[in-house]
Amino acid sequence: MGANFTILDSNVWGNVTVDDLKQDAERALNVLIQQPEVDANHVTLVGHSEGPIIVPRVAIDNPGKIDNIVLMGSVAQNFSDIGYFQGVMNPVNYAQQVLDHNHNGLLSVQEVSENPVFSSLVGNLTLALTQNITTVNGTAEQLNPQYNTNNDTFISINDELKPRLIYYLKSLPVVTPGEKCLAGPCPIWITSHYAFTPTLDIISKVPSDTSI
């Protein structure tokens, strides 16, 4: 990565896995403890967001090297569970509890398209749901008619919104042959996270002499 989130090498960016990032952290740790100004007997690793997935694993695989680990904004569960909550249940709950004023399971297309909170939850899917198009891996395509069951100016939360969100979530880890990932979470990186054991299940394996 370069300045302002510039991708310097799309091949590296598109193929990186969470295990690659762990190995990077271990290399950084080994360089750090060799520096003359560093007390190698009192090393603290700090991880934020994705970092709390990596830091405990570095501590587990490098016993005796790390005095403390600090986990900020910890990702405790598997990415697939978190993705389903953030990508499906969170916007569906918001739609049901905030936007569905009549409690009839329908959302006004106009209100949905103008609501900044809903737009932040579903991103480009706001456009897909309101104009019957979507973008998957950078390619515009027609929204499957099954997600607009009555071709009207309302969005059914259960019949149109939720299935579309699930479809989009399932498309994220799909690798398209010959296509480079140039922005955002890449399919290979997402797939590697899906395969990882949740942090909650491995945190007890951190050496007892490492404080958390």
Of the chain, the percentage scoring pLDDT greater than 90 comes to: 50
Q: Say whether pTM exceeds 0.85.
A: no
Q: Which pLDDT value is given to residue 62?
A: 93
pLDDT tens for 138-180 read 443 334 444 445 555 788 899 888 998 998 889 889 988 888 8
- Per domain, the residue ranges of the chain are 3-77+196-205, 79-171
Per-residue DSSP letter, 62: S
pLDDT tens for 56-101 read 999 999 999 999 999 999 888 888 999 999 999 999 999 999 999 9
Per-residue DSSP letter, 15: H
* Residue 133 reports pLDDT greater than 80: no
Tokens 């603290």 label which residue? 44
Q: Taking all residues of the chain, what is their mean pLDDT, rounded to a whole number? A: 85
Pairing between β-strand 106-108 and β-strand 154-156 as defined by DSSP bridges: antiparallel
Contact 110, 154 (CB under 8 A): no
Tokens of 34: 């060799």
CA distance 156 to 154: 6
How many CB atoms within 10 Å of residue 50? 15
What H or E segment, with its residue span, contains residue 45?
Answer: strand 44-48
Query: Out of 13-27, 73-87, 108-122, which region has the weakest mean confidence (pLDDT)?
Result: 108-122
Q: Which pLDDT value is given to residue 84?
A: 93
